Copies of this chain bind each other. A is one copy, B any other.
Amino acid sequence: MKVTVLGSGTSSGVPVPTCRCEVCQSQDPKDRRLRASILVSQGDTRILIDCGPDFRYQALRAGIDKISAVFLTHIHFDHSAGLDDLRIYSYETPLPFYAEPRVARVLLEKYDYVFTKPYPGAPHIQLNTLLPAGESVLNPLELPETDYGFTIDRPLSATTGIAPAVDIPEPAEVRSHVVLPLYKVTVGSGADALEVLPIRLLHGQLPILGFRIGPLAYLTDCTYIPDSEWPKLEGVHTLILDALRWEPHRTHFSVSQALEVVARLKPQQTFFTHMSHNIGFHAEAEKRLPEGVHLAYDTLSFDI
């Protein structure tokens, strides 16, 4: 399995336009951070996690030749605003896209020209919903059942494990389709299959998703990992984890908070992501971290 960091920066990216701080003026490529996103590959399978405003540039830089599925951690601009640029990857077959119900609801609304009033040339996206095992759709997410085209046709609160994907009709029909929450998704097949397990995280007050994919856990935009989720992270080999800056923040782990997570999970290696210019120079910040813990940087790529 190959992991490529497409972006390792916070919502504004680094450098911040107009900023004259020394980090934003740095000529070290590792101090230039696009919005947070990764690509996970196995053989012919390509999983994109998040699709922010830099997606086109990231796709060109990494030479992304195809995408098998996209997983969204949450709806915030820096994680979702590149959705339209997925169109190149969806001309031949609809692109499977996974988000939790509250996020899918917003996508259906905000990208009406993709889903409900399809515009020529818009991406062709097969929207599926995800929930961590054990959660129900109606509580705590409080989704209205009818407002946004969702019809939930089976009891969910007791459901765990794998629920089957449902083909989503053509965009014009999407408002009446049935969207079933999935608790675990297999992308690809045979030796190229990757199993993706959603992990519930809190990003400040906002429930969002992280993802476990085999030996990897990708936990961006995070201030709290609920008790229920720690067992899903057991034995993780490589952890990519939110660490915005050294100082505390309302909606992101600081470095010291992130190091507490590392101490509990004890992964073989950890890479911090979603960093702001306040993290300082990459080369200097690296020296302040314990063994096995690094700052991610854009274009970082490794096999695990």
Contact residue among B18, B59, B60, B87 (Cβ-Cβ distance under 8 Å from A89): B18
Interface string of A84-125 (1 = CB under 8 A from B): 110111000000000000000000001000000000110000
A15 near B: Cβ within 8 Å?
A: yes
Q: How far is the CB of A107 from chain B (nearest CB, A)?
A: 11
Judging by beta carbons under 8 Å apart, are A60 and B17 in contact?
yes
Q: Is the CB of B18 within 8 A of A65?
A: yes
Interface size of A in residues (CB-CB distance below 8 Å): 30
Complexed CA–CA distance, A83 and B19 (Å): 19
- Binary contact readout A54-84 vs B (1 if CB under 8 angstroms, 0 otherwise): 1011011000111000000000011001101
B77 and A17 contacting across the interface, CB-CB below 8 Å: no
Contact A17 B84, beta carbon cutoff 8 Å: no
Residues B110 and A60 in contact, CB atoms below 8 Å apart: no
Question: B residues within 8 A CB of A270?
Answer: none
CA distance A145 to B60 in the complex (A): 44
Query: Is A53 part of the contact surface with B, judged by Cβ < 8 Å?
Result: yes
Given A17-B56, A59-B17, check contact A12 B65 (CB 8 Å): no
CB–CB A88/B16 < 8 A: yes
Identical chains bound together, number: 2
Q: Name A53's contact: one of B53, B59, B89 (CB within 8 Å).
A: B53
Let me know if B81 and A17 touch, CB within 8 A.
Answer: no
Given contacts A17-B60, A65-B18, contact A12 B87 (CB under 8 A): yes
A13 at interface by CB-CB < 8 Å: yes
Residue A11, interface by CB 8 Å: yes
Q: A12-B87, A84-B77, A87-B12 are in contact. Are A17 and B64 (CB under 8 A)?
A: yes
Chain B positions within 8 Å of A85 at CB level: 12, 17, 53
In the bound complex, residues from chain B placing their C-beta under 8 Å from that of A81 are 53, 81-82, 84
A60 to B12 alpha-carbon distance, docked (Å):
12
Residue of B nearest to A78 (CB): B84
Closest 5 CB pairs of A and B: A77-B84, A17-B59, A110-B110, A17-B88, A53-B53
Interfacial residues, chain A to chain B (CB-CB below 8 A):
11-13, 15-19, 53-54, 56-57, 59-60, 64-66, 77-78, 81-82, 84-85, 87-89, 110, 120-121, 250
